[in-house]
Amino acid sequence: MKHAHHHVAAGAFLLLTILVGPTGPSFAEGTPMDVKQLISEALKNNPEIVAARKAWEAADTRIPQATSLDDPEFTYQAWAVPLNDPVNFRKANPNIFGIQQKLPFPGKLRLKGEIASEEAKMAEARYRAKEREIIARLKNAYAGLFMASRAIQIQSEHLELVKQILRIAEIRYAVGRVPQQDVFKAQVAQSEVLNNLIAVGQERQVAEAMLNALLNRPSTAPFPPPPEFIPDIPAGEWRVDDLIQQALQLRPELKEMEAAIRGAERTLDLADRNRKYPDFFLGWQYWFAPEGEIQDSYGAMVNITIPFSPWTINKHSKEVEEAGLMVAKGTADYQAMKNMVFFEIRDAFAKLEAARQQLRLFRDALIPQTEQSFKAALSAYEVGKVEFIGLMEAARSTRDIKLGYYRALVDYEQRLADLERAVGRDLIR
């Protein structure tokens, strides 16, 4: 009996060492990942960001196109060529060589350039919004990988505990101190933990696949275990109203819509000019008449469009009406987006505060309490007041609280990423 009790006591000591251990578990193995380095890699290689950046660059190239004149036109005419000698252009009277150029009314090219410039600013804002989106998605995926890695470690530690419990239960059953049912329960608990390990292993694979997609790496590229998060959770660090004011200045989607409104206003000005003011065609011609009295002469021409003609005025009026409606649409879109930004900030901030409080509860109360509870269960077991099943329940409770702590930590990091995206900047450098 003393020999069996010695094995039980040694196993119980091992349980306490594995489960309680130091105050904060250490998980870093291998080369740790720096999330800032991953963000830099994503900003450089992510296909969605690359596509948005190229779209911005393409939009920039349209500015000089919009402010350039149309191509000049070269003309050649042969007049009065004899039908009995149709390819003898020297007998043409005269040969006319000309060049002509369309010139918009002053100010129209400037407005076209301003419209193209606002479109380029919209493309830039879409690019910046895509950056913020990918950063938030990467931080969320990174937090998911962190959670899966910690869950694997915690479940692995719990598996070792269950194996020790099973061995101790077998020893006590062999000497007749516990029923065989305790052995069966320990075996079931071991199977449950193995199943949990399979599930969290799949979660890690999903998180790795998401990170690889965001980084444009091969889908099966491995990641080392993420280092421990050290949450910075001071109370009252940010005020909602301050964050809203920052978002009005920084949020890329709002900048895009502001540029859209300015572009629509320039389009309205251009439509109004097209309705009121004509465009011009200027031309110069050289006339060569080899058989004429005057062989060399020239001609000049000026063509003027008539935008206010009875059969075109309605077209231009509708262009003005359409442009005015687009200004109103852009203004409404901006207000709707601003309302959405306000909601996103308030929603993310409320969720962040809830995660902050939950994290503190786990860190300051639940983890110490469950560790004390396990120590008490271990002490009670050593004097025969608690059976193994009670000790195993205490161990399971401690495992669940540890998992709950890391879920709260991951939720805090993900809600922080959502708030940063809603504001349009990093809140923690």
Give the amino acid at 357. Answer: Q
- How wide is the angle at C-alpha 388 spanned by C-alphas 387 and 393, nearest 5°? 105
pLDDT tens digits, 111-138:
999 999 999 999 999 999 999 999 999 9
* Phi, psi dihedrals of residue 317, rounded to the nearest 5°: -65, -40
pLDDT tens digits, 324-340:
999 999 999 999 999 99
Average pLDDT on 161-165 reads 78
The Cβ of residue 81 has, within 10 Å, a number of other Cβ atoms equal to 16
Q: Which CATH superfamily is domain 2-423 in?
A: Outer membrane efflux proteins (OEP) (1.20.1600.10)
pLDDT tens digits, 340-354:
999 999 999 999 989
DSSP result, 214-246: HHT--TT---PPPPPP-----TT---HHHHHHH
Query: Lowest mean pLDDT: which of 13-22, 32-41, 43-52, 396-405?
Result: 13-22
Q: What percent of the chain has pLDDT over 70?
A: 85
Query: Lowest mean pLDDT: which of 226-230, 281-285, 286-290, 420-424?
Result: 226-230
Please state, in angstroms and rounded to a whole number, the distance separating the CA atoms of residues 305 and 193.
Answer: 83
The Cβ of residue 34 has, within 10 Å, a number of other Cβ atoms equal to 11
Q: pLDDT band at 219, cuts 50/70/90? A: confident
Mean pLDDT across the chain: 85
Buried b (16+ CB within 10 A) or exposed e, 266-295: bbbbbbbbbbeeebeeebebebbbeeeeee
The answer to whether 97 and 76 are in contact (CB under 8 A) is: yes
Average pLDDT on 37-61 reads 96
Give the pLDDT score at 26: 35
Give the pLDDT score at 104: 95
The answer to whether 109 and 67 are in contact (CB under 8 A) is: yes
Q: Which is higher by pLDDT, 72 or 95? A: 72
Average pLDDT on 83-103 reads 82
- The DSSP secondary-structure symbol of 101 reads E
Give the pLDDT score at 429: 60
Nearest to 122 by CA among 267, 256, 248: 256
The answer to whether 108 and 177 are in contact (CB under 8 A) is: no
Q: pLDDT band at 172, cuts 50/70/90? A: low
Average pLDDT on 359-363 reads 88
Specify the 3-state DSSP secondary structure of 280: strand
Give the pLDDT score at 411: 92
Six-digit token pair at 30? 């291998």
The answer to whether 226 and 207 are in contact (CB under 8 A) is: no
